[in-house]
Amino acid sequence: MITIRTENPQDYEAIRELNNEAFGMENEANLIEAIRNSTYFIKELSLVAETNKKEIVGHILFSKVTIETVNGPIVSLALAPMAVKLKFQNKGIGSSLVKEGLQVSGKLGYTSVIVLGHPSFYPKFGFVPAVSKGIRPPFNVSDDVFMVYEVKEHALENVNGIVKYPDAFSNV
């Protein structure tokens, strides 16, 4: 059985190892630590998937970003990174992490989530190409991989802007 819960300091090393294994490099683990030590970190939105043997097999992080518009910045969330241990992939753990994160995001009052991810995975949760909502990335990327989810219906109506990521993301 897998439990989704908020991370705690005892999980930090397991989260680092998990991300290093999943991505084959330290960039994502370093990103998590940089965000964790910044004002963009939201403790309730750093979630782990834990087995009944207390093994951390998945992690997801949502952190604050802004959408820069002509009317000023709009607070949003970035879903990045998400990792699941290789031997636990394709068992619904990633989906459980995304669903729980989106639910917690809404409870905390956030209205939208941005993701740069697989176009075959995220749409099943309601993510759509961000360009369809007037949201653009700050870098060159295909429209189908830069997506947004409205936690609150119509949250991005009449919004037109560019996502601004914290500096920590520039090293990924």
Q: What is the pLDDT of residue 32?
A: 97
Q: Is 131 exposed, middle or buried (0-12, 13-18, 19+ CB in 10 A)?
A: middle
Whether the predicted pLDDT of 50 surpasses 80:
yes
Domain formed by 2-171, architecture: 3-Layer(aba) Sandwich (3.40)
Asked whether 9 and 69 are in contact (CB, 8 A), the reply is: no
Whether the predicted pLDDT of 170 surpasses 90:
no
Asked whether 146 and 130 are in contact (CB, 8 A), the reply is: yes
- In tens, the pLDDT along 84-115 reads 999 999 999 999 999 999 999 999 999 999 99
Q: What is the pLDDT of residue 65?
A: 98
| Sole residue written with tokens 């959408």 | 67
Cα three-residue angle 49-60-79, rounded to 5 degrees: 155
Domain layout of the chain by residue ranges: 2-171
- In tens, the pLDDT along 57-92 reads 999 999 999 999 999 999 999 999 999 999 999 999
Whether the predicted pLDDT of 171 surpasses 90:
no
